[in-house]
Chain A
Amino acid sequence: MIHVIAFYLFAFVTLASAVLVIMARNPVHSVLWLILAFFNAAGLMVLLGAEFIAMLLVIVYVGAVAVLFLFVVMMLDIDFAELRAGFVRNAPLGLLIAVILAIELFVGVVANSAGKASLGTADGSGASPAGASNIEAIGALLYSRYLFLFEAAGIILLVAMIGAIVLTHRQRSGVRPQNIADQIARRPGEATINTRPDVGQGVQL
């Protein structure tokens, strides 16, 4: 009973906040609604018994991705009139993407009702044993059956990361960055001298 109530609560809030993401006038509000949607999706994952995925959803999307979204959106100088003017121009593209996503969902549901895809375990012995935690089951699968796909994903992410660094890195001349090692290696003898100058003679540096 409580499962059903919880499911409809999470599902309703997810859908409602997802709608509000695109309906909100203010982009910052949109991002905040998006965070609420992520959070409730994580709740749905917990209901499915996929607590590991739920936690990852919160850590990665709510904790990192959405913070960066918010970071960027907060700094925007928002012109509401211009935003609304772009709506008609972008509507066909948006509709196209929405239709493609809807078709994908439909295909997924049809394929699932035709027969469940068997994820199985490393040696092909069917589903992971009951009692093994989520994390162990996912780890066993990722590092055996899907090892090469997993490594490939890692390499793609690495390339993307290096690409982002290369694209945004710039060498500026005329700046004098702090060299911590030099500062720490410096000794009093290199920076100061003790002199006893005669009166009226001054110090030659």
Chain B
Amino acid sequence: MTAFFQSLGMNHDWAWGVATIAGILLIALPVMLAVAMAIYFDRKIWAAMALRRGPNVVGPFGLLQSFADGLKVFLQETIIPSASNKGLFLIAPIITFTVALMAWAVIPFNSGAVLADINVGLLYILAISSLGVYGVVIAGWSSNSKYPFFSAMRASAQMISYEVSIGFILICVVLWAGTFNLNDIVLAQKGHGLGFLNGFAFNLLLFPMWVMFLISSMAETARAPFDLTEAESELVAGYQTEYSSMSFALYWLGEYANVLLMCALNATLFFGGWLPPVDWAPLYWIPGWIWLFAKIAFFFFVFSWVKATVPRYRYDQLMRLGWKVFLPVSLGFVVLVSGYLMLTRYSA
């Protein structure tokens, strides 16, 4: 894109700056739109699983429900509790929302169609997702209220626990792909399964890693069945209890942007990202971003499906799963994968 703006007569620095801003808008605005639609589809899927109709009043099939909700919260009054820490109370939702959008910078939408093609892409994702916890923790503390505080405690312990196993799972993928760059990881998956299926998930050694990554990504985004940070039966609404209007909506949007990001990561790391599912030439005529969107939509359906059907975990069960099951298993798989690669690929 820099070259395009240079052809309009800008020098390189200006063209780069304008291209970057255009790229940010090209990613952030569709993500926002996708979040609005994701909320709608989420509600429709739960409704279908509970034999209800779901949102069906605003617009055709209720498609505009999310926008109506957005307008509603936008017009509401922002209530700041008098005992809260005002500055931090207002910064917290901004952090959550910003961080949820930042990680999209390294997701490749097509061959080379990525905002920041950096060679530490996966580490960047890890770094950004580790920042996500601050929005929740600061909200819980600055609200100066019991339930948000409990929720913040839970959130920080939960996210740290699952980040460890996610780190090991990602190391397995990186070992196999031989790079941290997400675009190269996608390319490394071309024809990986049986010579014609695109995706690391078709590898017997990496398939268990994908299953664990899917579950960990639900825990990392605090989605059901791991939504203990906002367990309504115990904590009212968790860290969001004291929030209202737009500051609440930012959490809402940020949560869904994070869920979509995790779906995109599932697709990119294990199911070939923008590659078609089968390595067959005519399928490459369909643009890569359509394949990526289809995969994201599929994983989003899995997320809603799980949320609609699986009961919530108990907190000690959540910790047990993270530390006693996922951590040792993923650590074992790091040894297994690196051992296998040493014996095959690198045994020169």
Contacts and interface: CB of A to CB of B under 8 A. Distances in A.
Would you call the interface of chain A mostly helix, strand, loop, or mixed?
helix
Interface stretch (A14-22, A67-75, A117-125, A195-203): A67-75
A67 B137 contact: yes
Contact of A135 (B13, B124, B126, B180): B180
B23 to A, nearest CB: 18
Contacts of B180: 135
B118 interface: yes
B160 A51 contact: no
If over half of B's interface residues share one DSSP class (helix, strand or loop), that class is named, otherwise mixed; here it is helix
Contacts of A63: 126-127, 130-131, 133, 163
Nearest to B119: A133
A56 B159 CA distance: 17
A62 B131 contact: yes
A60 B92 CA distance: 21
Interface in A122-169: 133-135
B157 interface: yes
A28 B141 contact: yes
B133 A67 contact: yes
A9 to B, nearest CB: 16
Contacts of A133: 119
A64 interface: yes
A136 to B, nearest CB: 9
B126 A55 contact: yes
Nearest to A42: B127
Contact of A71 (B130, B156, B163): B156
Nearest to B325: A180
A52 B123 contact: yes
Contacts of B119: 51, 133-135
Interface residues of B, number: 28
B88 interface: yes
A58 interface: yes
B153 A58 contact: no
B130 A64 contact: yes
Contacts of B118: 51
B152 interface: yes
Given A32-B138, A62-B130, A70 B156 contact: yes
Contact of A55 (B124, B137, B141, B149): B124
B139 to A, nearest CB: 12
Contact of B137 (A52, A56, A74): A74
B320 interface: yes
Contacts of A178: 316-317
A89 B39 CA distance: 56
Contacts of B138: 32
Nearest to B140: A74
Contact of A64 (B13, B141, B152, B160): B160
A35 interface: yes
Contacts of B5: none
A103 B130 CA distance: 35
A60 to B, nearest CB: 9
B134 interface: yes
Contacts of A70: 137, 141, 156
Residue among B13, B118, B131, B317 with the most chain A CB within 10 A? B131
B90 to A, nearest CB: 14
A67 B320 CA distance: 20
Interface of B: 13, 88, 118-120, 123-124, 126-127, 130-131, 133-134, 137-138, 141, 149, 152-153, 156-157, 159-160, 163, 180, 316-317, 320
Given A58-B131, A71-B156, 12 more contacts: A2-B13, A32-B88, A51-B119, A52-B123, A55-B124, A55-B127, A59-B126, A62-B130, A63-B126, A63-B127, A64-B163, A74-B153
9 contacts: A2-B13, A35-B134, A51-B118, A59-B123, A59-B127, A70-B141, A71-B156, A135-B180, A180-B320
Interface of A: 2, 28, 32, 35, 51-52, 55-56, 58-59, 62-64, 67-68, 70-71, 74-75, 133-135, 178, 180
